[in-house]
Amino acid sequence: MTADLFPPDSELSLAPGALLLPGLALDQAGVLLDAVNAVTAAAALRQLHTPGGQLMQVAMSNCGDLGWVSDARGYRYQAHDPLTGRAWPTMPALIKQLAAAAAQRAGFADFDPDACLINRYLPGNRLSLHQDRDEQDYSQPIVSISLGLPAVFLFGGLTRADKPARLTLQHGDVLVWGGPSRLRFHGVQPLAAGEHPLLGACRINLTLRRAN
């Protein structure tokens, strides 16, 4: 377990602006998961289409004032869930506070996320290499919280051609990604099969951003 490999307050600087906080969310994993389940009961996880027409493997939902969506019209943030026409569920305070605390540790004192994207991976699901470029202000970081099965995260450079490093994200790990690393290419390798005690055969990743 991560908790045994790293002391409780350990951190790993991956690159300028990119900080891994192993196990930071571990103590709260159960309540985080309850909060995620409440969100996805109101705004279902669903697979989106890329603007090019490909069905994404990872199922997504959102909470917060804005949610990230993709369809034939492009990638964007919007205030309403296209499935229901309703506003996205409120971002649970617990999730927002954890993200703000993590960002502060990485030197981003004023992180105030308005969007939380929820990604669900089943075994075999992958996320291809991309940059997160749909937000207004690249001076704001992204905070990523991983729950459930471990995933191999591809941590690339500022051009698609840069060979990515591989980094395993475990249940409870929090990654802060900002400053000079904000536009790094990244992706997730196909999720390996497994059973997680809390989540079963599944990985959930939360990415919190300031979109507007």
Residue 144: contacted member of ligand MD6, Fe ion, none (CB under 5 to 8 Å, by partner type): ligand MD6
In the list 132, 145, 156, 211, the residue contacting Fe ion (rule: CB under 5 A) is 132
Joined tokens for residue 201 = 């055969």
In the list 119, 125, 140, 170, the residue contacting ligand MD6 (rule: CB under 6 A) is 119
In the list 207, 208, 210, 211, the residue contacting ligand MD6 (rule: CB under 6 A) is 207
With left for phi above 0 and alpha for psi between -120 and 50, is residue 85 left, alpha or beta? left
In the list 2, 61, 125, 205, the residue contacting ligand MD6 (rule: CB under 6 A) is 205
d(CA 104, CA 19): 11
Amino acid identity, residue 95? Answer: I
From 7-15, 59-67, 87-95, 130-138, span contacting Fe ion (CB under 5 A): 130-138
Instruction: Note whether 142 binds ligand MD6 by CB under 6 A.
Output: yes
Using CB under 5 A, list all residues that contact Fe ion: 132
Using CB under 6 A, list all residues that contact ligand MD6: 119, 127, 132, 142, 144, 153, 175, 177, 186, 188, 205, 207
